[in-house]
Structure 1
Amino acid sequence: MAAQPINDESDNDTYPDVPAIPAGLRIPPPHRRAPVHHQPIAATGKAPAVWLLGAHGRSGAGTLARIWAPAADADGGWPAADRYPGVVVVARTDFDGLTAAQDLVLQAAAGLIGEAILLGTALVPYAPGRLPKSLRRKAEIVAAASPAVWQIPWIDDLPLHPRSELATWSPADPPPPPPGRMRGPVSSAASPQPQLAAVGMDIFTAARTAYAR
């Protein structure tokens, strides 16, 4: 579906519907923003409760949309015309990914996302282990500008399965059993990973709260 780019903030005097930009806020240039979808992305079927907006290519948004049943991929833009317009920006925790996430969070802070609602940012690890100090600081900057931040855990076997075979999680699913010392690791294709289910439930709850306001 073709998305229409939003007006630049310089058009405020000509187009009164364009929101005023908060003073002092750094706004990314138009080519670093995501477009605003002025037509619904979800044309048929059950409307997703949450949209996942990948800040860049291979962000992990498509994989998470497959795992979390209430979510869907936002097709690269802000779902301003959908029934449930809540958005989670998804980005890898490398330098470029965090920079792209910051751009989208600042775009939202400037009110340049139509009727979409930024719920928060999901940060997907680019590698196992602790982030280097420079990237931790950059992630903190993204977190400071975002309504919420969800840290996606590193799961060893997740890249080993085709996306189409990954197990899905739904808010109606029973809570996962507590980890046991005698139980081996669970395949991501056999059952939703408990860590991802917990994050999915937190995001679903955030969306429900936002829509109730």
Structure 2
Amino acid sequence: MHALTLRAHPLAGIGSRRLDPATVSPPDRVASIRTEPLPTTRAHPPVVAIVGAHGGAGTSTLARWWAPAADCGQSWPGSVQTTQRVVVAARLCLPGLVACADRLREWHVGTAPGGVEVVGVVLSAARPGRVPAPVRRYRAVVEDLAEQVWDIGWHDELIERELAELAEFSPFDPVPQRRARLTQAVPLDVHHVGSELIDALARATKKLIEQQDSER
């Protein structure tokens, strides 16, 4: 399936403050912390870390698809030497959404490493076809905890491709053809989410610079 399933849900704009910790229930378990700097595997250091809410969340595929991203596994990026801006990745299924909500609550209550900024959430389809009603209902919990929620659809061709075979998205890449092979271009929804993510990061950086200038 190659249908475009892009959706963004703004909470209070990129760069907004966390929710009041007193209004958020902390999760029973917290994620590990990566103390080493994120690797630079392309021409430039990564600008965002993909953190999996659970195993099989697709972090390696997303980080491969988006050239400005790095795979952080299921750990928070704890090193200040590389980016601590995070996209939380999860599967669009009930266990995936529950795990995703746990990571978001962990960030809101302040138990994630200092400096971590959750930019948004990427939900990858767990299967082709319609999303069951219970999953759609619990998705609302994640949307209440996240500044942005993006969707990536189901792509059959991933089953037969090695990670290194996948094409990459870079900022300002042209929109790919709808039926391009994954070795030639990223899927349309991956391109659109990548573009939205880069725009969100740019807005956050601009806002931070403006705040720093106003404080001088």
TM-score, scaled to structure 2: 0.79
Unmatched segments (≥5 aa) in structure 2: 1-19, 209-216
| Runs of 4 or more above 4 Å deviation | none
User: Does 1:202 pair with 2:196?
Assistant: yes
Residue 84 of structure 1 and its aligned partner are, at CA, apart by: 2.4
For the Cα contact (< 8 Å) 1:49–1:204, is it kept in 2?
Answer: no
Residue 79 of structure 1 and its aligned partner are, at CA, apart by: 1.5
SS in 1 for 2:70: strand
SS in 1 for 2:23: coil
Equivalent-residue separation in structure 2 for 1:92 and 1:170 (angstroms): 24
**Partner of residue 35, structure 1:** 32
Please show how residues 76-95 of structure 1 align to structure 2 within 5 Å: 76-80=74-78, 81-95=80-94
Equivalent-residue separation in structure 2 for 1:48 and 1:112 (angstroms): 24
What letter is aligned with 1:28?
P
Question: CA 1:68/1:211 → structure 2, altered by over 3 Å: closer, same or farther?
Answer: same
Identity %: 35
Equivalent-residue separation in structure 2 for 1:57 and 1:100 (angstroms): 10
Equivalent-residue separation in structure 1 for 2:65 and 2:184 (angstroms): 12
1:125-181 Cα shifts (integer Å, max 9, x gaps): 10112211101011111111111100112222222211110111100322335x5xx
What letter is aligned with 1:74?
C
**Partner of residue 125, structure 1:** 125
Equivalent-residue separation in structure 2 for 1:24 and 1:132 (angstroms): 29
Equivalent-residue separation in structure 2 for 1:205 and 1:83 (angstroms): 20
For the Cα contact (< 8 Å) 1:122–1:149, is it kept in 2?
Answer: yes
Please show how residues 1-213 of structure 1 align to structure 2 within 5 Å: 22-29=21-28, 32-42=29-39, 46-80=44-78, 81-113=80-112, 114-177=114-177, 179=178, 185-212=179-206, 213=208
**Partner of residue 11, structure 1:** none
SS in 2 for 1:151: strand
Equivalent-residue separation in structure 1 for 2:158 and 2:35 (angstroms): 34
Equivalent-residue separation in structure 2 for 1:121 and 1:167 (angstroms): 22
TM-score, scaled to structure 1: 0.80
Give me the CA root mean square deviation.
Answer: 1.9
Unmatched segments (≥5 aa) in structure 1: 1-20, 180-184
Aligned length: 185
SS in 2 for 1:101: helix
For the Cα contact (< 8 Å) 2:65–2:166, is it kept in 1?
Answer: yes
